[in-house]
Every structure is written in C-alpha cells, then in structure tokens.
Amino acid sequence: MTEIRKDPFTEQWIITGTEKEQEFFTSLASQEKTEWKVCPFCPGNEKVSGKEIFALRTPGTTADTPGWEVRVIVSKQAALQIETDPDRRPEGMYDLMSNVGAHEVIIETPEHVKNLSNLPVEQINKVFSTYQSRMRDLEGDRRFKYALIFKNQRKSSKYRLCHAHSQLVALPITPKTIKDELHHAREYYSYKDRCLYCDVITQELRETKRVVEENDGYIAVTPFASRFPFEVWIMPKKHNCDFLKESPESLVNLAKIMKNSLLRIEKVLDDPPLNFMLHSAPYMREREGYWATIKDDYHWHIEITPQVLELSGFEVGTGSQIQPLLPEVAAQLLREIKL
C-alpha cells in the first residue's frame, strides 16, 4: 500500500511503500539486473512501453503505433495513482494521505539516442511544448497542487533504458523545496519590492563571472552557492513565475540554451550522471489567497545538477553541501567548451 506521509520533523512529504515491496527487497538482495534486449521506447514497441496519454504525431497515424515525434505514457514504475482521491487524514499526531498523483514518462524522440542534448534544437523545442501541454492538462484536475518535470540521465549501460526520456509527477501537495523557494522569494519581495531572481539575473549579467551562456530570452549561470560541481541554472531574463506562460518563440531560445548547457556539462565531465528539475509556480496560486502575490515574487527556472559527488554524513545530517569547486571556476570551464 503506497501512502504519502508527512515527516513531522522536517515537514517533507515522503511517498512510501509500493505495490511491489516484496519484489523490491528480493531485487536488492539478489542484485539481479534485467538486461534490456529490446528498447520499449523505440517506435514499433508502443504496446510494450505503455498506454499513450499524449503524442505529437503525424496526422492520420493512430495512438500506440509509430508516427510520433514526442510520446507521453503512464510510468510503469508509478508510485502514484491517478484514480484515487487524496483522502487526507491524521493518524494520531501524524499526517498522511493516499497516493493520488500522476506519473508520466515523456519519450523525447523516436530515435534511439540517450541524451536530450543529442537532439536538434527543433526537437528539444517539441519536448518543451509537450511539457507545457501535459502540465496544462493536469492543471484542470483540482486534486493537484504541483507538477514537477524532471530528468534522471545516467551513463550508458545494457541494464538501463538508454532512450532519451524525462518524467512528470503531479502531486496533491506543494513540495517543501518549492515552498521554501516561494517563502524566500516572498520575504525578499516584501522587503525590497523586487523579484529575488530578477535581481540575481541583473547582478550575474553585470559581473559575468558565473554566466555560462546568454541568449535573447535566457541566461545560464552557475549559482553563487552551487550545491553540486558544475550545477547550472537556466532562468528566463524576463520576469515570469509560470513556465506555462512562456510563448512558443520563447521555447526556441530555451531549447537552444538547454542544449548548449547540457553539452557543456557532458563534455567537461565526460557524460556524467545528472538530473534536471523544472521549478514553476504551483497550480493553486490563482485559487488561494496565500499564493496571491506569487506572480510578482516567484520566477520559474530549471536546475541542472550533475551527480559526481556521493552524499556524505555531513550533507545528509545538515542539509548543507561541501562542494569543492568554485562556481566561478566552473562557469569559466563551461564557457571555454567548444560546441
């Protein structure tokens, strides 16, 4: 039985327990790995990969058959279920709810390539517009407060699905990381009457030492207090709290800077494992008073975090990172990469 439980010490929501608990422990014990002989994400294998929720496809072709450019399916590893209700309830002093949510996989290309950065800008652009379509669609479901787009990109292996894809999770809660960002942005705004992120962008453009790249719409920087070596944030230069409000023209610039930023990181670190997360405003902002001013004080962004350091006890214990590489040095090395 999967549940979403609130950790009373940190106020983090934890998704815990799966339908396949037994399987999980057996696989941990035996270290058994399944080799991927057929790629379920390649065209022709649509029936294996799962039911299509959405696709950009050639007119005249039907769902769950080839002819698509970007395809979205229900995740087979879904820890969350779309059919349930949140059913929020206390258990003594604890809080929990059932595992309502959406968990989707966005297959970014019909070609069997591993990294998003390997795709042409036009295709990356289609991936971003698919993100918008899916987030918009799920916004209509009032049970959901937040939708997170993220990617886990790993090194090639025959045990891993090496076909470019990202994931979308829609949740009945606003995750604590986002709440913390909203809170700090609001504090800053109420004190200065300016957006924290816009101020960061202005300063970074003036100082230039942490700027990795800039184009008409976006800036890529290594954050002043980077948590990971070669961490890169991409932000729209024009203030906007909501990724869904970016125009199709803006997405072209986003696709360009995303491709280049990923290529730089992949070259400098020899295709490292990495994650990226798209942080946009929560769905509830226009419906609930608490988030009413979010339009002015929050600023959507993408965080790209290469995973080259293992977490130590210090990091787990304090939530603070020891990160040896200065962001200014990282930015310089990334800038120097020949694309």
Length of the chain: 339
β-partners of residue 152 are: 275
Burial of residue 41 (number of CB atoms within 10 Å: 0-12, 13-18, 19+)? buried
Specify the residue, 198 or 330, whose C-beta has the smaller distance to Zn ion: 198
Between 100 and 110, name the residue whose CB sits nearer to Zn ion: 110
Beta strands 3-6; 13-16: pairing state: antiparallel
Ramachandran category for residue 208: left, alpha or beta (phi over 0 → left; psi -120 to 50 → alpha): left
Q: Are 144 and 82 in contact (CB under 8 A)?
A: no
* Pairwise CA distance, residues 234 & 313, whole Å: 29
Q: Please, what is the minimum distance in Å from the beta carbon of residue 61 to Zn ion? A: 18
Q: How far is the CB of 130 from Zn ion (least distance, A)?
A: 17
Nearer to Zn ion, 100 or 278 (CB): 278
> Quick check: 302 and 278 in contact, CB under 8 A?
yes
Rounded distance, CA 280 to CA 244, Å? 8
Token pair for 149? 């787009």
Q: Which DSSP letter does residue 84 get? A: S
DSSP secondary structure of 280-310: ---GGGGTSGGGTTHHHH---EEEEEE--S-
Q: In the bound complex, what is the minimum distance in angstroms from residue 53's beta carbon to Zn ion?
A: 19
The residue (of 114 and 267) whose beta carbon lies closer to Zn ion is 114
| C-alpha to C-alpha distances, 171 to 3, 23, 79, 104, nearest whole angstrom | 12, 25, 11, 12
Residues 6+ apart with CB under 8 A from 143: 85, 86, 100, 172
CB of 82: closest distance to Zn ion in angstroms?
25
Give the nearer residue to Zn ion in terms of CB position, either 114 or 209.
114
Q: Which two tokens stand for residue 132?
A: 């918008």
Question: Cβ closer to Zn ion: 98 or 306?
Answer: 306
Output 112 or 136, the one with its CB closest to Zn ion: 112
CB 288, min distance to Zn ion, A: 21
Q: Tell me if 331 sits within 8 A of 232, measured CB to CB.
A: no
Which residues make up the interface to Zn ion (CB under 5 A)? 39, 41-42, 112, 163, 195, 197-198, 239, 279, 299
Minimum distance, C-beta of residue 244 to Zn ion, in the bound complex (Å): 16
Nearer to Zn ion by Cβ, of 100 and 235: the residue is: 235
Query: Is the Cβ–Cβ distance between 43 and 51 less than 8 Å?
Result: no
**Closest separation between CB of residue 311 and Zn ion, Å?**
19
Minimum CB separation of residue 328 from Zn ion in Å reads 21
Q: Which is nearer to Zn ion, 10 or 202 (CB)?
A: 202
CB of 64 vs Zn ion, minimal distance in Å = 16
- What letter does residue 77 receive in the DSSP assignment? T
